[in-house]
Chain A
Amino acid sequence: MLSYVLKRLAQGILTVWFIATATFFAMHNVPGDPLTNDRAMTDTTRANLEAKYGLDQPITTQYLIFLRNLSRGDFGISFVQENREVNDIIREHFPVSAMLGVLAVIFAATGGVLFGALTALYRNRFPDYLIMFLVIMGISVPSFVVAALSQLSLVTFNNLIGFTVLPVAGWGTILHMLVPALVLGLSTMAYLTRLMRSSMLEVTSSDYVRTAKSKGVPATRIFTRHQLRNAILPVVTVLGPAIAAITTGGFVVELVFAIPGLGRYFVEAVQQLDYTVIMGTTVFYGAFLVFMVIIVDVVYGLIDPRVRLET
């Protein structure tokens, strides 16, 4: 088991390195240099920045400087918001996105497994049809529409009740997080429901479930120990990338609900071509994604003995 984890970690570091390198060279092959934006910048600032990042040096030297800074965890200073370190930006806003993301994933995973199992159990009966209809809607309606509509209904709901049951925007308490997290996790929940459903159906018609039935094992026990355990495997596999996608793609929800998360700042940086923020956030997100996938793989290894014993 340990060797499995170490191997995955090593692969992960390699991947992060690759992302950083690709990002670096991509940004440097773009016409113009990062400082050619019409922003008022004093000559001394410009000179300082040039010196710090070695922008006047050949590209290989710049790359080495970049790697060196990266290994120290120094992502540099924002080009746009002067005197603000990228690390600070990340440190301040990532936890917000992460909390939102984790909550969304919890909603998506529990909802997906629960509803998927339900549709498989009640196959071709009313609960199945209802849930699948909602699922199809869930994957067809674009996220920004869902976000906007949910906010609208929240306003209406609050008006009906007379007081603010759930806050409509902003960040702070757990109440602020509930609706945005739900909205964020909705499309993933729909996807996981479908996945769980087909997985369950496949498992249900498998030989080993037939064997369990032939042993006279009661239906509930078959459900938990034989069906659920095996059906959940594909869902767990997908969970890793899903977590990362949710956390990094929460931009829309952050925008609509006025949540100060990292996604929003990233896109703003992109629109303003804030070089260091773009680089830093990209590498950070990349590392986060890799890390999440590793965790999920480890969990998968815990559930499915074939994986951990075969490698």
Chain B
Amino acid sequence: MSELSASSFAPIEAHQQTQVISRPSLSYWQDAWIRLKANKRALVSLYIVIGLLLFTIAGPLVWQVDPAIQDIEQISQPPGTDRGATIVPDYEPWFGTQGLPGSGLRLAEPANSQTVRMQWDALPGANGHRVYRNLFPVGSELAYGIPLAEFLNNDTLYFEDRLDLQPGRFYYSVVALDARGQITDQYQSLTVDLERVTTLQEALERGLIDTADNIQIGDEIELAWHPLGTDYLGRDLLARLMAGARVSLFIGIGAPFLFVLFGVVYGSAAGFMGGRADQLMMRFADFVVALPFLLFMILFKIAFGIGPGESGVFPMLVAMVVLLWPATARLVRGQILQIREQGYISASQLLGANTSYLIMRHMIPNTLGVVLVTVTFAIPSAIFTEAFLSFIGMGVAPPTPSWGSMSNEGIKTMLTTPHELFFPALFISFTVLAFNLLGDGLRDALDARMRNVE
């Protein structure tokens, strides 16, 4: 202990006794904001959400590609594929090449995405031939693939394939037919690699080259770039995702906002009025909950005169708003009832507050937390619902893109072109994840009672 002088025992100054306020006092919202920022996951989610909104709104301004345009030469291309195409002369019909060297099933000229020309010699004992094409080798199961043409005599021994040609590898087979025109086990196979080509005309039309560039036949040009690849109709995936974002987020955010708003008004009214009115209103809400969602979705769609196969964005929105508000209403009502019993309400009334003051100054701010969190959790739910409905064909229909309908299309070709499913599903998952984590963070930050103890 240090030496104590006489002055140590002098009376203390008044100002020394004032309590030093070591921490600044914070308002409820400031405190919540600090807590939210401290929550790393929620903060990252917030950035993701903001990023998504930018993607949706500003994206098309940066990536100005029309989502509806079909790039025929690049159908179902995953990102990063080679985009080179050779210029070839315009197409002219072909009727076989006389004196083609070689024997058996062979190509008359190099195969490309414009046309594949093949010739063969008559197979022994054949009364005709059928031409097949497959994405996989024929193998021992004799899986020839899709039939392209049939010739019931041996006069025609050539064939030109122009069906849906994509750069890549095809396996062609020529199968001998018997006297009755049935296929036999006799066949010949040919592995063909297709090169991507386009004509001058098309290149000019699509704005890939300029007349000033002086491109000749045989030159290589680059086709349009698709950072995320293309879908089964050759449409740019990134542009479609942006357009789809608009639909998915419009419903995903718009619907929850609306039905939460309605729920808040309804629930506050019920909670505030109390008594019989409250009971009646809640009974009605209970009944609405029991209504089958899918059915009413469909009925709204019909009622709006939208047939199967057409997009029903508006009916979907209406159905969600009309059927999903009760949960929020009940929540808000519960909050209001709780708040009404609190001491500060009575205190405020005793100090002379009137009803509107109580509502504006006490009830609404105290329910805002709950409402905000509800909205944040309702959004992923709505996005899923939209995706699901579009998936079963009850929501958005092609050609209008939405992440759900894109996933639907993508699932069909999941094994061969997984990127068509991967990107929309990724976007859905990310969005849902971000909103879920953000909702968690908001709940932790805003209400001690609701806090998920972590």
A contacts B directly in the complex (CB < 8 Å)?
Answer: yes
Interface residues of A (CB under 8 A from B): 15, 18-19, 22-23, 26-27, 29-31, 123-124, 136-137, 139-145, 148, 152, 197-198, 201-202, 205, 248, 251-252, 266-267, 270-271, 273, 278, 282, 285-286, 289-290
Does B94 make an interface contact (CB < 8 A)? no
B84 nearest CB across to chain A (Å): 32
When the two chains form the complex, which single residue of B302, B308, B453 contacts A31, counting CB atoms closer than 8 Å?
B302
Contacts of A31 in B (CB 8 A): 302-303, 305
Query: Would B437 and A136 count as touching, CB distance under 8 A?
Result: yes
Whole-angstrom distance between the alpha carbons of A202 and B454 in the complex? 10
Interface size class of B (residues with CB under 8 A): 35 or more
Q: A31-B303, A142-B429, A271-B393 are in contact. Are A19 and B292 (CB under 8 A)?
A: yes
A59 nearest CB across to chain B (Å): 16
When the two chains form the complex, which single residue of A18, A29, A142, A266 contacts B387, counting CB atoms closer than 8 Å?
A142
Query: Would A202 and B421 count as touching, CB distance under 8 A?
Result: no
Query: Would B453 and A148 count as touching, CB distance under 8 A?
Result: no
25 A-B residue contacts at CB 8 Å?
A: A15-B290, A23-B292, A26-B296, A26-B299, A29-B303, A30-B299, A30-B302, A31-B305, A137-B429, A139-B436, A140-B429, A141-B428, A142-B391, A142-B407, A142-B429, A142-B432, A145-B429, A148-B414, A152-B415, A201-B453, A201-B454, A252-B388, A252-B391, A278-B295, A285-B292
Does B425 make an interface contact (CB < 8 A)? yes
When the two chains form the complex, which single residue of B299, B388, B394, B437 contacts A144, counting CB atoms closer than 8 Å?
B388
Does B349 make an interface contact (CB < 8 A)? no
Contacts of A18 in B (CB 8 A): 287, 290
A116 nearest CB across to chain B (Å): 12
Query: Would A23 and B295 count as touching, CB distance under 8 A?
Result: yes
Residue in A145, A197, A201 with the greatest tally of chain B CB atoms within 10 Å:
A145
Which A-chain residue is minimally distant from B393 (CB atoms)? Answer: A271
Contacts of B302 in A (CB 8 A): 30-31, 273
Binding site of B, secondary structure by majority: helix, strand, loop or mixed? helix
Binding site of A, secondary structure by majority: helix, strand, loop or mixed? helix
Does B345 make an interface contact (CB < 8 A)? no
A181 nearest CB across to chain B (Å): 19
Which 9 residue pairs of A and B lie closest in terms of their CB atoms, listed nearest first? A140-B433, A201-B453, A140-B432, A140-B429, A145-B425, A198-B452, A30-B302, A26-B299, A15-B290
Known: A148-B411, A270-B294. 13 other contacts (CB 8 A): A23-B292, A123-B454, A137-B433, A140-B429, A140-B436, A142-B387, A142-B429, A145-B428, A148-B414, A197-B452, A252-B392, A289-B290, A290-B290
Q: A139-B436, A144-B388, A282-B295 are in contact. Are A30 and B303 (CB under 8 A)?
A: yes
Which B-chain residue is minimally distant from A141 (CB atoms)? Answer: B429
Does B118 make an interface contact (CB < 8 A)? no
Whole-angstrom distance between the alpha carbons of A26 and B288 in the complex? 13
Whole-angstrom distance between the alpha carbons of A248 and B388 in the complex? 14
Whole-angstrom distance between the alpha carbons of A137 and B437 in the complex? 11
Query: Would A282 and B388 count as touching, CB distance under 8 A?
Result: no
Contacts of B287 in A (CB 8 A): 15, 18
Does B384 make an interface contact (CB < 8 A)? yes
Instruction: Give the tally of cross-chain contacts (CB within 8 A).
Output: 103
Whole-angstrom distance between the alpha carbons of A197 and B454 in the complex? 10
Encoded as 1 (CB less than 8 Å from any A CB) or 0, chain B from 19 to 44 comes to 00000000000000000000000000
A148 nearest CB across to chain B (Å): 5
A199 nearest CB across to chain B (Å): 10
Query: Would B452 and A139 count as touching, CB distance under 8 A?
Result: no
Contacts of B351 in A (CB 8 A): none
Whole-angstrom distance between the alpha carbons of A26 and B323 in the complex? 14
Which B-chain residue is minimally distant from A197 (CB atoms)? Answer: B452
Which A-chain residue is minimally distant from B391 (CB atoms)? Answer: A144
Does B291 make an interface contact (CB < 8 A)? yes
Does B122 make an interface contact (CB < 8 A)? no
Contacts of A136 in B (CB 8 A): 433, 436-437
Whole-angstrom distance between the alpha carbons of A198 and B415 in the complex? 39
Contacts of A282 in B (CB 8 A): 292, 295
The residues in B between 184 and 236 inclusive whose CB is less than 8 angstroms from any CB of A are none
Query: Would B429 and A22 count as touching, CB distance under 8 A?
Result: no
Which B-chain residue is minimally distant from A241 (CB atoms)? Answer: B289
Q: A201-B454, A282-B295 are in contact. Are A145 and B290 (CB under 8 A)?
A: no
Whole-angstrom distance between the alpha carbons of A131 and B53 in the complex? 30
Which A-chain residue is minimally distant from B408 (CB atoms)? Answer: A144
Whole-angstrom distance between the alpha carbons of A152 and B411 in the complex? 11
Contacts of A286 in B (CB 8 A): 290, 292
Does B85 make an interface contact (CB < 8 A)? no
The residues in B between 246 and 290 inclusive whose CB is less than 8 angstroms from any CB of A are 286-287, 290
Contacts of B408 in A (CB 8 A): 144
Residue in A22, A124, A137, A290 with the greatest tally of chain B CB atoms within 10 Å:
A22
